[in-house]
Amino acid sequence: MKVTVSRKAHFNAAHRLYRKDWSFEKNDETFGKCNNPNFHGHNYELIASVTGEIDPETGYVIDMKVLKDIIKNEVEDAFDHKNLNLEVPEFKDLNPTAENIVVVIYNKMKSKLASNLELEITLYETLRNFVSYSGN
């Protein structure tokens, strides 16, 4: 029987949505106020959900402390109070949209999990705007 366990986390980060190969006008038309050359910030909320079989010895799918530590090391330490465009290497040449951020977080976390565990990341950029990714 498979069970999903989830943990919430939070980080604050600034970004600018734009393409270096587009004119300011085209970026402004496409990304609007998110194209602000001085950047803008979000209070991101994250839900990391891990699905797998319950270990008959521990009763866990994953030790929540292990999940907490993965989130801290791979997400919070890497992204919190950072300018994603300027300080996070994964976004040097990747537009830090919510869609791209959730895929980057998934890839960073998935590599730290046992291969038999499934992962889904839900990332809230605002209370009403959120994205999910599970590797598909």
Residues annotated as catalytic (active site), given as ranges: 34, 81, 125
How far is residue 37's CA from residue 102's CA, in Å, rounded to a whole number?
Answer: 23
Among residues 111, 107, 123, 132, the alpha carbon closest in space to that of 11 is found at 123
* Angle, alpha carbons 9-81-121 (nearest 5°): 30
**Tokens found for residue 78:** 């890497």
| Tokens 């949505």, located at residue | 17
Q: With residue 12 as reference, give the H or E element that holds it.
A: strand 2-15
How far is residue 120's CA from residue 109's CA, in Å, rounded to a whole number?
Answer: 10
